A and B are shown apart, each in its own frame.
Chain A
Amino acid sequence: MVDRIPILKMGKYLLLSIQVDMHDQLALDLQEDLTEQIVRHRAKGVLIDISSLEIVDSFIGRMLSHIANVSRILDAKVIVVGMQPAVAITLVELGLSLEGIATALNIEKGMRWLENSVNEDEIAGEPESDEDTDAPSETGN
């Protein structure tokens, strides 16, 4: 059985394609690996291709939500692409809405979305460098 899902770096993005039936530990390892690589490469975006996944159960759904949340805190955008229609139908009936997770039909569309949202952020004047001078703009509440 596979014991690692490869994560590829391309510019400021990380790409990964889940092509095996993941056992739970593999999903947990992926979560950790990805978090670590986002920080190491200062990635701005993560694209996760699940077009080969034949099911997404609550465990994998939770992993995807977790990845999206952690990435957001680490200032990286995440998009999940290529979900099979039967998987989407099943997920909804199971009761998982994958709220807060951006999705796209395929890799091309996903990549375009990532580039757009990362560019928007940069235009909006977010500091590119990692200086620690920017104080939180909102306090209280």
Chain B
Amino acid sequence: MTKTQTLPLKQETDIVIIRQRVRKAAEEARLGLVSQTKIVTAASEIARNALIYGGGGQCLIELANRDGRAAVRLVIADQGPGIADIERALVDGYTSGSGLGLGLSGSRRLVDEFDLKSQPGAGTTVELWKWK
């Protein structure tokens, strides 16, 4: 696998492919099984958000390094309407759609670093890190 890859996120089946590639990257970074499962699950949640609420976008997967530790870095971006109230969007149970409202808040708990950037009208970008 190359160190960096960018995958399209245009339809539901792309989420499955993203999950599989993130799993591969996590294996290559030699993350433990639980860490692998967590980053794959977080990727699935965030990718689905980007598809449903953001109308799709792309997912960057990078085999990275964090303070000498092998890491997986994901950047999932959409060009959708963006999130007006980020604080609120990160609260458990808050949803603007029909979901459970666990996607963002839950994913944040699953990773080592979570960064969400969004502006109304300018899309949403979520960066996720999981390291060894």
Contact = CB atoms under 8 A, between A and B. Distances in A.
Nearest to B15: A23
Chief secondary structure at chain A's binding surface: helix
Contact of A21 (B16, B34, B102): B16
A62 B37 contact: no
Given A24-B48, A58-B99, A86 B34 contact: yes
A1 B13 CA distance: 9
Given A86-B34, A95-B92, A54 B40 contact: yes
A93 B15 contact: no
Contacts, number: 72
Interface residues of B, number: 27
| Size class of the A contact interface (CB-based, 8 Å) | 20 to 34
A95 B40 contact: no
Chief secondary structure at chain B's binding surface: helix
Given A86-B36, A90-B37, A57 B12 contact: no
B6 to A, nearest CB: 20
Given A54-B23, A55-B19, A93-B110, A24 B12 contact: yes
B48 to A, nearest CB: 6
Interface in A84-123: 84-87, 89-90, 93-96
B20 A95 contact: no
A93 B106 CA distance: 7
Interface in A41-95: 54-59, 61-62, 84-87, 89-90, 93-95
Contact of B110 (A22, A54, A84, A94): A94
Contact of B109 (A1, A59, A87, A94): A94
